[in-house]
Structures are given as C-alpha cells and as structure tokens.
Amino acid sequence: MKKINILLAIVLLFLFAGSNPASAQRKPLEIIILHTNDMHAKIDNMGKLAYLADSLRKSHEYVFLVAAGDNFTGNPVVDMVEDKGYPMIDLMNRCGFNVSAMGNHEFDLGQEKLNARMGQATFPFISCNIDASGATVKQPKPYMVLEAGKIRIPVLSVIQLGQNGLPDSHPSKLEGIKFTDGMLKVKEYTWLKDKYGVLIGLTHLGVEQDEPLAREMPQFDLIIGGHSHTTMSEPMMVNNVMIVQTGSGLKNVGKIILHIKHGKVIDTKYELIPMASIKNSDPVVQALINKYNDNQELNKVIAVAEADITGESELGSMMTDAITHRLKADFSFQNTGGIRVPAIPAGNISLKDVYRLDPFGNLVVLFKLNASEIKSLIRNSYNRSKQIDLEVSGMTYEIVLDQAGSCKDVIMLDLSGLSLDPAKEYTVGVNSYISASYTFDHRDPGNTTYTTCAQALIDYLGEVKKVNYKGVVRAKTGTSR
C-alpha cells in the first residue's frame, strides 16, 4: 500500500510538474505587465519608463516589462553608432525588460549585429515562426515562461510577413532565414494553454492580424501587439481575448493588471499611460540617455567635399547619385522640397550633415519605367510649380515650354548624350514622398527598398570618400518652342 501511495504521489507530481498549482490558491494573484511596441530606437522616454517600472516593482511583487518588437531603427543616435543598436539594448536592460518579440526591424541591424545585441540583452527575443537553422542569426525561442511565484505564464511570439512571405526588412538582411505563416504556426502551441492555464501573445503582426488571431485562437487570454503603430486607449475585445497596443516611438506605455486564480485569468484591467503624464525619470537611465543623445559619432567624418556643394542642383545631384549607386538604379530623382540645407561647405561631411540635408526618413522606392513614363514624371513635376522640381542622376533633361510656360516636352539624354531608348525599361529610384504624392504614368506600382535615402547617401559617401559637385547642373529649363 505504501508503495502504491508513493507511486501515486510520483504520478501526481509528474502530472502537475510545470502546470500552475491551481487548487492551493485562495486569493487571486495580481500580475502587472507593462508593455511597449515599436519603440524604434526612440530613447528619450526610457528614463520615465524605468522610473515607472521601478516604482511599481517597489509596491507589487510581480511586475513584468515586455516589448512587442521593432525596438530598433528610427533614431541616428542608436542606428548610426559603431555598435549599431547597442544604446537601445543597454537602456532596455536598465529598465528591466523581461522579453521582446522579434520585430521585422530587428533584422535591419544585419544578422551578425543582431546576434551581438541579443547576446548583450538580459532578456530573450522570441518568435515562433522563424527558422534560423540555415542562417547567421541565432535561433530565437518561440516562447518564454514568466514566473510569478508558483504561477507560470507562457508568452508566445510571432512575426508578421509581407506579401513576399518575408518580414518588412531588406531581403538581404534575411538571407538563410525561413519564415512560416504565423497564423498557422501559433496553433502548434495551444498546448501551452493546456499546460499552464494561461497564455499571452506577444505579437508583431499588426492589429489587422491580431484581430483574426484572437478569433481563431481563443486560447489567448491577452494579445500584446505591435507592428501597426496603433494607439489603443481602450483595449479591443475579440472572442473574449484582450488585444492591446501602445502606438510607436515610446510615446505611451500600456499597463495590464491580470488577476489569476485557480490557474486561470479571472480579471484583466488595461490602462494606456502617456509618457508625457509621467513627470519623473530614473536619474541613472536619464544620464545614459543624455550621453547617448550627445553622440559624438554623428560628428564622424564620412567624406570630404572638395568644393562647396551649393544649391538644389548640386546637392540634389549628390543625393540622387547616392540612390543610383547604392540601389543600382539607372536613374534617380530627388524633389527640391526635400533638400533641407542651402549648402554643404567644402571640407568634411559628417553623418549630422546628411541628416540635416535629408531629415525625413523617406525610403527609396524603385520603379521599372520606360522613357515615356519617366517623361511624364518630369513633365508633371515641372507643371506643379512651373519650375525645375526634380534633381536627377544618371541622365540630364531639359524642359521644353509651351507659350503659357508649361512643360510640353522633355528632352532626356543619358550619360553618353544619347536619347533614352523608348523600348527600354529603366530602373528608376525615387523617394517615397515622390512615389506617393507625384502624379506620373507608371504600370509598375514600385517596390520599397526598406533603405532610407539618408542611409543611401551615407553609404555612398562612405564609399566614394571624396565628392565634387561644383557647377553640376543636370536639369534645366529650355526656351519655348
């Protein structure tokens, strides 16, 4: 009999190992989850976040801090340092993050640098639909388990895929990685709910996919989302699953209070806290932020201007050469309104100079256009303001005016001085502002390169080292004909 009892005890112990000890619990366990998403390297509010998290930790036993991905990309003081992305990891460590979803912009770092950053993080990056077995980047775990005393809370993550089956990052950053449909993959983890009684999604899908995910996976108690930069002042309730998201750029932080009893979530409260409402900042973290913001690396010299680069024609020629060179386009165009300094003086060109020249974060978009379509772009751009509006690389052009001063034709010559081939399809790079707001004929809808124009210019200048655009004029207005 004694042997049977021991055997029974072992069996029971085995059965309940890892699961939450439901029966022993009398009053609900309170768990606080602070969450962010799509911080995009915006570090200025990290001191406030650290202060809030520490304040709650002093008064509550179980406080967790989670990020729903896209911690990087969007701030030169984080993106342009030698240890690209490190300031963000350092600050997230100091804030005490417990886990982050893998977002598409994590890959912007490049796989080797991402490995380094993941190695420095005191928290894991997770995602269930990434197979990195053939890649440089380390394999993320699909989920992690938060521990609140004897209660265990699994957090499962999943990353978005675009129409091309890849996360929204430059494909060259994703080499060797296999991605599977996240909506299908998460269903392989319903056992987490069976085992632990609780299941949290930390997704980087966007609200448009979190909503069907909640419909199809009622096993989730909560979906902490990211990717779509959605600010939810109230949670969305779908199929009894709470969905939350905090916008982007660490302008807000979400606070969720879970009450768990008998191994189940019995009550959930949500509050969106604007960072502007938090008046205190952790002094240690704030000092680090100040240090990172005073980033001397932005003064780093990347090239030398042999002569002043003055005016829209010279500056625009340099900017478009960068796109043509970096993205292997035949021609590139830059709108004059996007050229934000009057000149870059002769001498050293720093990273700061580039960001002053092009502060918008516009992405390079590539189109396949024939000569007629290119002509329509130039003609329509001229007629917007009756003046040269597009600077160009890879070709020159002359506007032919009608009697009213409108563009009636465009003479376009390639670098050899020959007219463009009307039968040929050219690769044309423009910034996302032009691609979205300019009217021109194009059968190709275009494709983003996920490369900013500023980054293209930094890469270009870093490669050529010396530039001289003195007197360069590639676009001009001819006489009326």
Provide the mask over 314-353, with x wherever binding to other proteins is found by CB under 8 A and - wherever it is not: ----------------------------------------
What stretch of H or E contains 409? Answer: strand 407-414
Distance CA(72)–CA(204), nearest Å, equals 14
Residues 107-126 that bind other proteins (CB under 8 A): none
463 contact partners, CB below 8 Å, separation of at least 6: 325
Taking the complex as a whole, how short is the minimal distance between the CB of residue 216 and other proteins, in angstroms? 17
Stretch of residues binding other proteins (CB under 8 A), selected from 76-84, 230-238, 280-288, 346-354: 230-238
Give the Cα-Cα-Cα angle 221, 225, 228 (nearest 5 degrees): 150
What stretch of H or E contains 333? Answer: strand 331-335
**Is residue 207 a contact point for other proteins (CB under 8 A)?**
yes
**Is residue 147 a contact point for other proteins (CB under 8 A)?**
no
DSSP annotation of 173: G
Terminus-to-terminus CA distance in the chain, angstroms? 110
Residue 311 has which token pair?
A: 């005016």
Q: Which of 447, 462, 470, 481 binds other proteins (CB under 8 A)?
A: 447
DSSP annotation of 141: B
**Is residue 85 a contact point for other proteins (CB under 8 A)?**
no
Distance CA(213)–CA(192), nearest Å, equals 16
Taking the complex as a whole, how short is the minimal distance between the CB of residue 56 and other proteins, in angstroms? 25
Instruction: Output phi, psi for 440, to 5 deg.
Output: -160, 155
Distance CA(39)–CA(85), nearest Å, equals 12
Distance CA(33)–CA(53), nearest Å, equals 9
Stretch of residues binding other proteins (CB under 8 A), selected from 124-132, 349-357, 404-412, 444-452: 444-452
**Is residue 42 a contact point for other proteins (CB under 8 A)?**
no
Q: Which of 57, 141, 193, 229 binds other proteins (CB under 8 A)?
A: 229
**Is residue 435 a contact point for other proteins (CB under 8 A)?**
yes
Give the interface size with other proteins as a residue count (CB under 8 A). 36
Q: Which of 20, 98, 111, 228 binds other proteins (CB under 8 A)?
A: 228
**Is residue 225 a contact point for other proteins (CB under 8 A)?**
no
Q: Which of 120, 293, 380, 448 binds other proteins (CB under 8 A)?
A: 448
Residue 196 has which token pair?
A: 């632990």
Q: Over the Cα atoms of the chain, what is R_g?
A: 27
**Is residue 162 a contact point for other proteins (CB under 8 A)?**
yes
Distance CA(201)–CA(192), nearest Å, equals 11
CA atoms within 13 A on the CB side of 324: 18
Distance CA(428)–CA(416), nearest Å, equals 18
**Is residue 468 a contact point for other proteins (CB under 8 A)?**
no
Residues 347-406 that bind other proteins (CB under 8 A): 361, 363, 365
Q: Which of 85, 197, 247, 338 binds other proteins (CB under 8 A)?
A: 247
Stretch of residues binding other proteins (CB under 8 A), selected from 148-156, 375-383, 439-447, 459-467: 439-447
What stretch of H or E contains 267? Answer: strand 264-274
**Is residue 163 a contact point for other proteins (CB under 8 A)?**
yes
User: 398 vs 444, which CB is nearer to other proteins?
Assistant: 444
Q: Which residues bind other proteins (CB under 8 A)?
A: 38, 40, 162-164, 168, 206-209, 211, 227-233, 236, 245, 247-249, 361, 363, 365, 432-433, 435-437, 445-448, 450
